[in-house]
């Protein structure tokens, strides 16, 4: 009895952010054969050994790259490599230019920045997006998720598609007719972490054995209630005050604060959509537990339950590689 022939790879795709590096080995249909998650974000790279050797030490980026996919490339040296995220920032391996919004999605894949590695496989980095009208706004990495969602989406309505990317810096990206038309950023996740870890609000909190979704929903509702009209800077102090008056247990306060911040974000989003007369189809893409929280808030504020996108980053990297000609266009996407 002969063993099955291992599936051949067609692409190595890297999602390289500030705090971590995810590597994917994809086959000729864009399916994930292998995946790795390493702690080597661009601000925390492995350190080269200083042993006094005449040969220059490898950079931290090269060392992280080797750990992520060096063995894959030794097994299949001809594999192309594509990367997205903060690896293309000014602090990254090589800076990739921003493209101005509105931008045709297909154009993104034709403007990759190449990291030349003499005698070794080059790495192609996806550009970020910049919005210059009004207050400027930028993204790196999220454009790839958007590309993956849109390329895998069913028919997009005339009202367009609004893609929500909740996280440290939540993005809400509008797309229509094959273009990214605009996007908004809410620093909800980072503000939550800062308030919990570095302000007096965290002093009365304790860790919970399980999420308190009732406390979360209470915070969501306060954000849009009459007492919430003074804005987030006013309502967040209620996290402490409710604890001091015995109305909110220490183990419930973090979830209440999460609800307040996400509630203010979604209330603002809903108001913007109403003011613009828009009712787009909405798709969420992110960590499931966080998307569940956003879905609860969106339902409360009249936006309905959004659709959920899966594996958007690797799907986006695959479709961008197709657009760039790094993998054969005859490949059939899964």
| pLDDT, tens digit, 9 for 90 and up, residues 275-301 | 999 889 999 999 999 999 999 999 999
| pLDDT, tens digit, 9 for 90 and up, residues 222-270 | 999 999 889 999 999 999 999 999 999 999 999 999 999 999 999 999 9
pLDDT of residue 3: 47
CA distance 193 to 235: 17
pLDDT of residue 334: 45
Average pLDDT over residues 56-63: 84
Per the CB < 8 A criterion, the answer to whether 183 and 128 are in contact is: no
Structure tokens at 19: 């705090």
Per-residue pLDDT at 2 exceeds 50: no
Per the CB < 8 A criterion, the answer to whether 239 and 260 are in contact is: yes
E strand or H helix at 60: helix 60-75
pLDDT of residue 152: 81
Q: What is the DSSP letter of 240?
A: H
Structure tokens at 198: 């570095």
E strand or H helix at 118: none
| pLDDT, tens digit, 9 for 90 and up, residues 24-47 | 999 999 999 999 999 999 999 998
pTM of the model: 0.90
SS3 of 201-237: HHHHCCCCCCCCHHHHHHHHHHHHCHHHCCCHHHHCC
Per the CB < 8 A criterion, the answer to whether 257 and 219 are in contact is: yes
Per-residue pLDDT at 172 exceeds 90: yes
CA distance 144 to 125: 11
Q: How confident is the model at residue 319 (pLDDT cuts 50, 70, 90)?
A: very high
CA distance 307 to 157: 14
Instruction: State the residue for tokens 């007719």.
Output: 177
Strand, helix or coil for residue 7: coil
Average pLDDT over residues 150-168: 83
On the 0-12 / 13-18 / 19+ scale of CB atoms within 10 A, 233 is: exposed
Average pLDDT over the chain, rounded to whole?
92
Domains along the chain with CATH numbers: 9-156+311-324 (3.30.420.300), 188-303 (3.30.420.310)
Distances (CA, A) of 184 to 85, 123, 161, 230, 311: 18, 29, 14, 22, 22
pLDDT of residue 279: 87
Per-residue pLDDT at 153 exceeds 90: no
E strand or H helix at 152: helix 142-152
Per-residue pLDDT at 54 exceeds 60: no
Structure tokens at 279: 């009712």
Q: How confident is the model at residue 51 (pLDDT cuts 50, 70, 90)?
A: low
| pLDDT, tens digit, 9 for 90 and up, residues 70-113 | 999 999 999 999 999 999 999 999 999 999 999 998 889 999 99
Q: How confident is the model at residue 7 (pLDDT cuts 50, 70, 90)?
A: confident
- The fraction of the chain above a pLDDT of 70, given in percent, is 92
Q: Give me the sheet containing 113-115, strands edge to edge.
A: 32-38, 21-27, 9-16, 81-84, 123-125, 113-115
Per the CB < 8 A criterion, the answer to whether 212 and 219 are in contact is: no
CA distance 155 to 270: 23
∠ CA 302-307-309, rounded to 5°: 145
158 vs 115, more confident: 115
Average pLDDT over residues 110-122: 95
Q: What is the DSSP letter of 6?
A: P
């Amino acid at each position: 009895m002969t063993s099955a022939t291992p599936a051949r790879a067609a692409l190595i795709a890297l999602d390289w952010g500030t705090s971590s590096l995810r590597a994917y080995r994809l086959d000729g249909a864009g399916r994930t054969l292998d995946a790795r998650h390493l702690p080597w974000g661009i601000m925390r790279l492995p350190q080269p050994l200083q042993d006094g050797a005449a040969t220059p030490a490898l950079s931290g980026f090269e060392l992280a790259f080797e750990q992520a996919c060096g063995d894959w490339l030794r097994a299949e040296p001809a594999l192309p490599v594509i990367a997205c995220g903060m690896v293309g920032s000014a602090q990254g391996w090589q800076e990739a230019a921003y493209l101005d919004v509105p931008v045709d999605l297909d154009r993104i894949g034709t403007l990759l920045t190449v990291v030349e590695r003499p005698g070794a496989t080059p790495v192609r980095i996806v550009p970020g997006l910049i919005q210059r009208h009004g207050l400027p706004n930028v993204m790196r990495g999220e454009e790839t998720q958007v590309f993956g969602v849109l390329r895998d989406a069913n028919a997009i309505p005339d009202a367009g598609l609004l893609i929500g990317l909740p996280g440290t810096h939540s993005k809400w990206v509008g797309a229509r007719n094959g273009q990214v038309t605009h996007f908004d950023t809410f620093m909800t996740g980072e503000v939550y972490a800062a308030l919990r870890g570095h302000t007096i609000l965290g002093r009365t909190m304790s860790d919970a054995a399980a999420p308190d979704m009732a406390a979360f929903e209470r915070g969501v509702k306060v954000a849009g209630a009459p007492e919430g009209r003074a804005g987030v800077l006013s309502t967040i102090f209620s996290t402490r005050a409710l604890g001091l008056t015995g109305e909110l247990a220490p183990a419930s306060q973090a979830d209440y604060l999460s609800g307040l911040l996400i509630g203010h974000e979604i209330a603002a989003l809903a108001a913007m959509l109403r003011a613009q007369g828009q009712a787009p189809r909405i798709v969420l893409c992110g960590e499931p537990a966080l998307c569940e929280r956003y879905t609860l808030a969106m339902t409360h504020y009249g936006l309905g339950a959004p659709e959920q996108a899966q594996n958007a980053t690797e799907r986006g990297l695959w479709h961008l590689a197709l657009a760039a000609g790094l993998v054969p266009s005859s490949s059939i996407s899964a």
